[in-house]
Structure 1
Amino acid sequence: MIGLLVGGVVGLVLTLFGTPLFIRFLVWRGYGQMVRDDGPTTHKTKRGTPTMGGFVFITVLVLGYLITHGVLTLLGSPLAGPTASGWLLLLLTVGMAFVGFVDDFTKITKQQSLGLTPRGKIILQTLIGTAFAVLALNFPDGRGRTPASTAISWVRDIPWLDLAFAGPVLGVVLFVVWSNLITTATTNAVNLTDGLDGLATGATAMVTGAYVLMSLFQANQDCAGPAVEGCYEVRDPMDLALLASVLTGALLGFLWWNTSPAKIFMGDTGSLGLGGALAGFAILGRTELLVVLLAGLMVAITASVIIQVGYFKLSGGRRVFLMAPLQHHFELKGWAEVTVVVRFWLIALMCVMAALALFYGEWLLQHDVFEGAGA
């Protein structure tokens, strides 16, 4: 538990005081945000605001993780030392953040709102996602548990949805496809949510905060200890909780500067990095389907874009929303930006609370059922 507290505080402090230094550097270099010409007119004033702020909290995530493990080593904690799951989550997070950084830097140097080509972005994301997926099926612990499994999960692996049914080789291939699908969905979802000051930062912090609680509970009910019915077969739950704690603290520190009026934007560096982190937590924490509810706000925002584009093409130019993503629809309806953000945060919080209730409720059901059967 002390590791989670140390990690959260380190993430918060480093980001809170490191972000203004990075803002000064970006201003000095003239690295400002390019704004879409077809976006809400109120966003024109945001042109030139420093961007690539995700570089700060992604860097802090790595530093905070290593610093906390250093502190735990000095304290003689048995949990000291990074794990395979921890390194893999950092690989996916930092890898996706790198793709976003290249995209952001391209926009800035070319002075346009479009960076990497869609094809180039997909290729880079697929390479990183595939490396993560393949490695995640390796590195078994003493009980033979690997960081990920070929079974599709919701709050734990679903035995009858194990992709290995197609054979060991094809099962791995199917898992790689499934893992990349999750990663693509989460990175796009966070990226589309990042349209208003503080919206994506606050919403993602709620999801990572939930992963602190769920991973901690998984560690307390780990099948590696005295095995009981309903225990969890997650390889390194405490290390995932630590990473979630560091990232939550870092996001709260960044939100101080990112909230309206934003002094800095996270850019694609931040949104793609955060999407990678959410995918990593879902896959390594065996909550692949639950993340749809956990990130319910982001799912709704992504769905609004799909609906808008699909209906526009099918109807010959008609629209469902005034503008997509969904947050801009409400802006054009006259809602103030801060009003949209706070109300969307409340929706995000309700989704997180519902997901936590399902997560804990499933464990209670397991416990009650087996206890009743034993009676």
Structure 2
Amino acid sequence: MKAILFGGVVSLVLSLALTPLLARFFVRKGLGQPIHDDMPTEHQVKQGTPTMGGTAVIAAAVLGYLAAHLFAGTLPSASGMLVLLLLVGLGVVGFLDDFLKISRERNLGLRGRAKLIGQTFVAVVFAILAIRLPDAHGLTPASTFVSFMRDLPGLQLGAVVFVVWALFMVSATSNGVNLTDGLDGLAAGTCTLVFAGYTIVCVWQFNQACASASLPGCYQVRDPYDLAVIAFALAAACGGFLWWNCNPARIFIGDTGSLGLGGAIAGLAIMTRTELLLIVIGGLYVAANASVILQRGYFKLTRRLTGTPRRIFRMSPIQFHYQLKGWPEITIVIRFWIVCGILVALGLGMFYAEWLTHS
């Protein structure tokens, strides 16, 4: 536990210290967030607020993770490095998107196809490596089985199908976190809760790992302790960033942070064998994705059938629907945090209850 706590403390301190420095640097360089005209009027006052704050979160988490290994005198595991691959790789895609928005002075960054290509490349490299790199026991970082709270025996995928499945998970989760962004502190706060939840999952799996003791209900998971180190470093880095990102935000997390953090969440779900459980733990991101899909689908369907397009929500993603209904921004954020916390707690409860059935 010492390495987990040490990495978290380093990440928290670095995030708290780096974020305001980064905000001041971006202000001096005029790197402010452009606001789209169709956004709620409350957002127009945020025009020019520095973005790409995810750079500080990613840097703090990576340095905290590496510091934990220096403290413990150990080398990073394959699983931990693969999470960093998703975090940094998708963070770079998001950084390019943010930078283009700023340089063009309008809320349009990478084209959809370019963004998709970047996400696909990072996710495919991750997936291929995740089912390779076996340890001394022949256990790879990821499994080709579909998992819920552990591998489901009857749902084994081939290598190619697994790569497609991993690509879907990474894309869905990174885009879900990205869609949840948009209100001060919303993405950073929910990510703090989700990464804290995965820290508990990883610590529990480490204590019940089949590699240390083949007991009833043990977990066939590679490097659970190291996954706990990176999960807690990410939770602490998001928490430190939240200090400066809460309303009124001094800096936005941007696509740099939201894409990278979403990818890391998907990576943790894949390597802890809790892929379908992510639907519960990350339920808020599922809701954000669903609100956009339903909104667009209903709009196109009604336009085709009646000639008059209609909408389910006043605006999507769903947090903007409530803002247009007159809810104060801080109220929406805190209530979404509460919902996220309930979902994380529910997911952890389901995870523990499943273990009890095997013990």
**Does TM-score exceed 0.5, indicating one fold?**
yes
The correspondence for 1:287, drawn from 274, 279, 285, is 274
| Offset of residue 186 of structure 1 | 0.3
CA distance, structure 2, for counterparts of residue 190 and residue 122 of structure 1 = 15
| Offset of residue 138 of structure 1 | 1.1
Gaps of 5+ in 2: 304-308
CA distance, structure 2, for counterparts of residue 351 and residue 37 of structure 1 = 33
- Cross-structure match for 2:13: 13
CA distance, structure 2, for counterparts of residue 340 and residue 128 of structure 1 = 33
- Cross-structure match for 2:171: 184
| Offset of residue 232 of structure 1 | 0.5
- Cross-structure match for 2:187: 200
- 2:5 maps to a residue whose letter is L
| Offset of residue 105 of structure 1 | 0.7
- Cross-structure match for 1:107: 101
CA distance, structure 2, for counterparts of residue 88 and residue 301 of structure 1 = 26
1:241 equivalenced with 2:228 (yes/no): yes
Q: Give the 3-state SS of the residue equivalent to 2:256 in structure 1.
A: helix
CA-to-partner distance for each residue in 1:227-268, whole Å, 9 max, x for gaps? 012100111000000001111110110000000000000100
Counterparts of 1:160-179 in structure 2 under 5 Å?
Answer: 160-163=154-157, 171-179=158-166
CA-to-partner distance for each residue in 1:144-187, whole Å, 9 max, x for gaps? 10000110101111110011xxxxxxx11101000000001001
CA distance, structure 2, for counterparts of residue 92 and residue 263 of structure 1 = 26
1:345 equivalenced with 2:337 (yes/no): yes
CA-to-partner distance for each residue in 1:260-295, whole Å, 9 max, x for gaps? 000000100000001110111011111110011101
- Cross-structure match for 1:366: 358
1:141 equivalenced with 2:135 (yes/no): yes
The correspondence for 2:113, drawn from 105, 116, 119, is 119
- Cross-structure match for 2:57: 57
- Cross-structure match for 1:93: 87
| Offset of residue 51 of structure 1 | 0.2
| Offset of residue 93 of structure 1 | 1.0
Gaps of 5+ in 1: 74-79, 164-170, 368-375
Q: Give the 3-state SS of the residue equivalent to 1:125 in structure 2.
A: helix
- Cross-structure match for 1:166: none
Q: Give the 3-state SS of the residue equivalent to 1:158 in structure 2.
A: strand
- Cross-structure match for 1:299: 286
- 1:220 maps to a residue whose letter is N
Question: Would you identify which runs of 4 or more consecutive aligned residues in structure 1 move more than 2 Å?
Answer: none
Q: Give the 3-state SS of the residue equivalent to 1:160 in structure 2.
A: strand
- 1:217 maps to a residue whose letter is W
Aligned identity (percent) is 54
- 1:69 maps to a residue whose letter is H
Q: Give the 3-state SS of the residue equivalent to 1:298 in structure 2.
A: helix
Q: Give the 3-state SS of the residue equivalent to 2:155 in structure 1.
A: strand
- Cross-structure match for 2:306: none
- Cross-structure match for 1:354: 346
CA distance, structure 1, for counterparts of residue 203 and residue 193 of structure 2 = 16
The correspondence for 1:275, drawn from 262, 269, 283, is 262
Q: Give the 3-state SS of the residue equivalent to 1:315 in structure 2.
A: helix
CA distance, structure 2, for counterparts of residue 115 and residue 322 of structure 1 = 24
- Cross-structure match for 1:217: 204
CA distance, structure 2, for counterparts of residue 348 and residue 36 of structure 1 = 27
- 2:280 maps to a residue whose letter is L
- Cross-structure match for 1:69: 69
| Offset of residue 108 of structure 1 | 0.8
CA distance, structure 2, for counterparts of residue 144 and residue 338 of structure 1 = 49
CA distance, structure 1, for counterparts of residue 9 and residue 104 of structure 2 = 38
CA-to-partner distance for each residue in 1:169-222, whole Å, 9 max, x for gaps? xx1110100000000100110000001000011011101000110000000000
- Cross-structure match for 1:32: 32
- Cross-structure match for 2:47: 47
